[in-house]
Amino acid sequence: MKRAVYLKFLLAYVIFGFFSFLLVATFSDLLIRERVTREEAASLYAEAGTISRSYATSLYTSESTVESVFVQLHSLSSYLSASIWIISPSGTVLLTSSELTDLSNPQVISGFTPQMSGTYYTTGDFFGQFSEQQLIVFSPITSGYKIQGYVVLMKPLSALSQRVNSYLTIVYISVALIFLLSFIILLFFTEVVYRPLQKIIYATEQYAEGNMHYELPVESDDEMGYLSATLGYMAGEIAKSEDVQKKFVANVSHDFRSPLTSIRGYLEAMLDGTIPPELHEKYLRIVLNETERLTKLTNSLLQLNNLNTAGIDVNKSIFDINPMIRETLETFEGTCLKKDILVDLILTGDEMFVEGDQDKLKQVLYNLIDNAIKFSNRGGTITVETNVKKNKLLVSVKDTGIGIPKESLSLIFDRFYKSDASRGKDKKGTGLGLAIVREIIRAHGENINVISTPDVGTEFIFTVAIVDDDEMETVVETEEVDEDEGKKENNSTDTKETTENHPAETKNTAADE
Ligand code: ATP
Ligand code: MG
């Protein structure tokens, strides 16, 4: 595995160290040097002031002799490590701390001007008097309100460098310590980012190789931990969907194989004479039934596949749901009569305009009523009812049939699921009806709920979006609405007043999702 991130971070660390030193070396040197010079100048200036007020003035007032002042200045000079000169305003050197001047032949500094621009100190070779650069401070000697001369203190700049260097050493040591301490950041980076990242990369490699069950350890609760957890979750979901896929294929194969086996069995028996020709018709009908089952299975699978791949393949329109419900119920008239089942139809409003895919919602209703009839005993009652709640229409399909056991409630919307009781009752069922219902409702962004009590009955309720009045105005203008249809009515194959007593006790409920 490449260690590119680590190397980049290391490089950044080295660059950080290099530039820190560079910056400190240039800026600190400049700032410290300036600071030290200013401090030194200030202390020299104070000394110069003292000298000019005491020794030098006494020289002019003839209170002291040149010799005695020289002795004092000489010792002061070595104490301050600076040269002390007393100069007249015209530039004549009256006294130096290094040697006693010959006043009969005094040294004159040509071009001497004591003015300093703004500051009380300056640097230079003092009018060519020194070969080395000096820090120079002036202090005027006043007597009788007149400037009699100047005390000049000079210190070689090289003498200051020592102090500057000692300060710089402290700074460099501090920077080096900080640089070493910042190594801790590198260690943190390794522990907090790099190592978890390596684990994540290893895990993704495992997933890429198809090992979806590889467990990625989540050790921290920071972003890295979150990433690991999310990745682990994703892999888990993929693994699960692979399992579902496998189960699905197994179910499909099984559901195809059993009718095919029986068809084959009957046809072979007919051919080899095990089934006598006079019974052929009976068995051919069974074979036909089985082929019907296969057709239904194929159709349902195709429909589910379309719903799944297209996802939101709903062709929404605004339509009156009442006639649609009536039509759907009418298709079951014959079956209901045969099973002696009563149907109650309780519709809200003369018209009820909803928005959705009319064909698909009809399929939902069809599948629910089909189940209600299938899982009802003779003489049962089926109630189809609509109710308005806020901007939704609740469509309920209720039966007084065998009910669904509590443990099956959460599974009935799964593909191929059939409860044990229904297996005996409905051999033709594929277990795909409710899966299709769920996909359609989901694609509409609506909900479906089920309430059931075994041996008492079952109720499925799904929601549909009602079209509000504003939208309706435009629809009414363009569509022709059948005036006679759609009053709130009890209209069915066998009409009966709504006195349905639905199981109130121990109701089992399950919601879609
Ligand atoms: P198909 O719809 O393809 O004919 P099916 O009816 O068995 O097959 P679903 O409609 O998906 O499949 O229903 C799944 C299972 O849920 C049923 O087999 C049955 O066990 C249970 N079930 C559904 N509706 C009812 C109901 N109204 N009463 C009792 N059980 C029901
Ligand atoms: Mg069904």
Rounded CA-CA distance 199/192 in Å is 12
Q: Round to whole Å and give the CA distance between 193 and 189.
A: 5
**Cα 317 to chain center, whole Å?**
37
Question: Residue 113 is encoded by which pair of tokens?
Answer: 């001007």
Going from the Cα of 326 to the center of ligand 1, the distance in angstroms, rounded, reads 22
- The mean per-residue pLDDT over the stretch 115-138 comes to 82
Q: Which atom of ligand 1 is nearest to the CA of 419?
A: 20
CA distance linking residue 99 with residue 85, whole number of Å:
10
422 in ligand 1 pocket by Cβ < 6 Å?
yes
Distance from the alpha carbon of residue 334 to the mean position of ligand 2, in angstroms? 18
- Considering 110-124, 207-221, 347-361, the range whose residues carry the highest mean pLDDT is 347-361
Helix (H, G, I), strand (E, B), or coil: what is residue 152?
strand
Question: Which atom of ligand 1 is found nearest the CA of 402?
Answer: 29
Residue type (1 letter), 305: N
Ligand 1 pocket member 369 (CB < 6 A): no
**Atom 29, ligand 1: which residue's CA is nearest?**
403
More confident: 437 or 473: 437
162-170 contact pairs (CB < 8 A, 24+): 163/36, 163/40, 164/29, 164/32, 164/33, 164/36, 167/32, 167/36, 168/28, 168/29, 168/32
Distance 100 CA to ligand 2 centre (A): 127
Using CA atoms, how far apart are residues 30 and 184, in angstroms rounded to an integer? 31
Q: Between the CA of residue 41 and those of 93, 159, 235, what are the distances in Å? A: 22, 13, 74
Kindly indicate the confidence band of residue 502, based on its pLDDT and cuts at 50, 70 and 90. very low
Q: Report in angstroms the alpha-carbon separations of 250 from 58, 257, 496.
A: 120, 10, 45
DSSP class of residue 92 equals B
Could you tell me which of 452, 490, 469 has the C-alpha nearest to residue 348? 490
Q: Record the pTM.
A: 0.54
pLDDT per position as a tens digit, 215-244: 888 778 888 889 999 999 999 888 888 887
Do residues 203 and 231 lie in contact, with contact meaning Cβ atoms separated by under 8 Å? yes
pLDDT tens figures, 159-172: 888 889 999 999 99
Q: Is 433 in the pocket of ligand 1 (CB under 6 A)?
A: yes
With a 6 A CB cut-off, is 430 part of the ligand 1 pocket?
Answer: yes
Could you tell me which of 491, 184, 192 has the C-alpha nearest to residue 343? 491
Residue 422 CA, closest ligand 1 atom number: 20
Domains and CATH numbers, the chain: 4-164 (3.30.450.20), 223-308 (1.10.287.130), 316-467 (3.30.565.10)
Q: Report the 10 Å Cβ neighbour count for 328.
A: 19
196 lines ligand 1 (CB under 6 A): no
**422 CA → ligand 2 middle, Å:** 10
Write the pLDDT tens digit of every residue in 267-311. Answer: 999 999 999 999 999 999 989 988 988 898 898 888 777 776 555
Residue bearing tokens 């443990």: 407
Q: Is 508 in the pocket of ligand 1 (CB under 6 A)?
A: no
